Amino acid sequence: MKLIILDRDGVVNFDSAQFIKSPDEWKPIPGSLEAIARLNQAGYRVVLATNQSGIGRGLFDMATLNAIHDKMHKALAQAGGRIDALFFCPHTADDKCDCRKPKPGMFEEISKRFNMDLDGVPAIGDSLRDLQAAATLGAQPILVHTGKGEKTLSGGDLPEGTLVFADLAEAVQYLIAQNA
């Protein structure tokens, strides 16, 4: 099975310093939905792993998060794509949980649910914590310039072997070409 792990905000949709708190605020980055559809067509199982501390901060509730994800799923379906599984951490950094990236809890759960080692599995994110969580379990960290990507790149300290692309569409084009 081919698996790929994506962060949500800044990779699939535009991010906001004030959090994505409603379906109206969720707007896909141009080309991202089509890129996910291309992954599906190439036989990838697409998984989202996203920190959603807005829940823990009381900025929105589970019903709102579900409504945001419903909008995303519908938009993806219209583009011919789908997300096969969605993992999220609702905690704030103060909660010191194991699931909030950069800790690897969500990635460990993905590994268990799909009954596979994540060694070499592409994991695309826009922040250092996305890349660190991926690298901890041997996944292939991939940074995109969208979202916080430019700031992450200029900050340095990327995990060894991190690949860098302009956006999700360019990363997907590369991955599909590598596996052709």
117 is annotated as an active-site residue: no
Measure the CA dihedral 113/117/118/120, to 10°: -150
Q: Output the CA torsion sign for 49, 172, 133, 117.
A: positive
The Cα–Cα gap between 27 and 165 comes to 20
Which DSSP symbol is given to 9?
A: B
Q: What is the pLDDT of residue 122?
A: 98
Q: What is the residue-level pLDDT of the chain in tens, covering all 180 positions? A: 899 999 999 999 999 989 999 999 999 999 999 999 999 999 999 999 999 999 999 999 999 999 999 999 999 999 999 999 999 999 999 999 999 999 999 999 999 999 999 999 999 999 999 999 999 999 999 999 999 999 999 998 999 999 999 999 999 999 999 987
> In the sheet where 44-51 sits, what is the strand order?
85-89, 44-51, 2-6, 122-125, 140-144, 163-165
Determine contact, residues 140/174, Cβ cutoff 8 Å. Answer: no
Q: Which domains can be identified in the chain, with CATH numbers?
A: 13-151+159-178 (3.40.50.1000)
Choose, from 7, 126, 130, 167, the residue flagged as catalytic: 7
9 is annotated as an active-site residue: yes
Q: What is the pLDDT of residue 68?
A: 98
Determine contact, residues 139/5, Cβ cutoff 8 Å. Answer: yes
pTM of the model: 0.97
